[in-house]
Amino acid sequence: MAGRPPQHSALRRAFGAVFDWAMGKKAVGKDAAGNVYYRWFEGSGAERVERREVQWATAYMYYDPKDIPSEWRMWLRKQREEPPTDEEMQQNTVKQAALKSRVAALEETERLRRLRQQAVGSPDQHVGPQPDVARFLQQMRTSKTGGAPAGAAGERQDQRAADGSPASPSPSSDFKPETWQPGS
């Protein structure tokens, strides 16, 4: 196989090089980390299949698959036909550096915003509205007849009597759930 680790003996490395030559393996590129990428074909005619592999620059079994650039990873998985060029790799490196600097600037802006927010004492906007406990307790105290908050019906009748308007029962006070029928 291509990519014999350097800790193998010279004889084994020579045998591996001869085997690679016999298989027709060709180096198609190298990345910034020193990994070398190979291509060869197996079979003949309509059954000919292209194979791709990487020779890791690190010691045997001490590699991380995330160390492969995304362009080379796509080529190895046959998601792209041609291997990436050096110019393409350099352009993507520049794009990644620009993206990292923009992310760092955004994180710093967000950190400063949170510090200002803590200094002022305002609640965080992303948490959502805080519950109003007093309103909740008021809603929980219901009258036995209509489900209105306790004292609300009496206050309404007292207000109407003070205005001089006739006191009429609220629509919710005459509602009886057991008498209701669909369509009525």
Condensed to tens digits (0 to 9), the pLDDT of residues 50-59 reads 889 888 887 6
- Give the residue from 84, 112, 147 where a domain finishes: 84
Shared domain for 136 and 73, answered yes or no, is no
Asked if residue 34 belongs to a domain, the reply is yes
Q: What is the pLDDT of residue 100?
A: 96
- The least confident of 59-73, 76-90, 131-145 is 131-145
Shared domain for 77 and 137, answered yes or no, is no
Asked if residue 104 belongs to a domain, the reply is no
Report the mean per-residue pLDDT for the chain. 77
What is the edge-to-edge ordering of all strands in the sheet holding 26-30?
Answer: 26-30, 36-42, 49-55
Q: In angstroms, rounded to a whole number, what is the distance separating the alpha carbons of residues 71 and 90?
A: 11
Shared domain for 16 and 77, answered yes or no, is yes
Structure token digits, residue 47 = 């059954």
**Between residues 2 and 23, which one has the greater pLDDT?**
23
Helix, strand or coil for residue 145? coil
pTM for the full predicted model:
0.51
Asked if residue 41 belongs to a domain, the reply is yes
- pLDDT band for position 145 (50/70/90)? very low
Residue whose C-alpha is closest to residue 5's, from 41, 44, 45, 58? 58
Q: In the chain, how many domains are there?
A: 2
For residue 118, which phi and psi values (nearest 5 degrees)?
Answer: -65, -40
Residue 136 to residues 101, 127, 144, 149, 154: CA-CA distances in angstroms?
A: 47, 19, 18, 11, 20
> For residue 141, what are the domain limits?
132-160
Asked if residue 45 belongs to a domain, the reply is yes
- Give the residue from 53, 84, 115 where a domain finishes: 84
Asked if residue 181 belongs to a domain, the reply is no
Q: What is the pLDDT of residue 184?
A: 59
Asked if residue 40 belongs to a domain, the reply is yes
Model pLDDT for residues 94-108, shown as the tens digit of each residue: 999 999 999 999 999
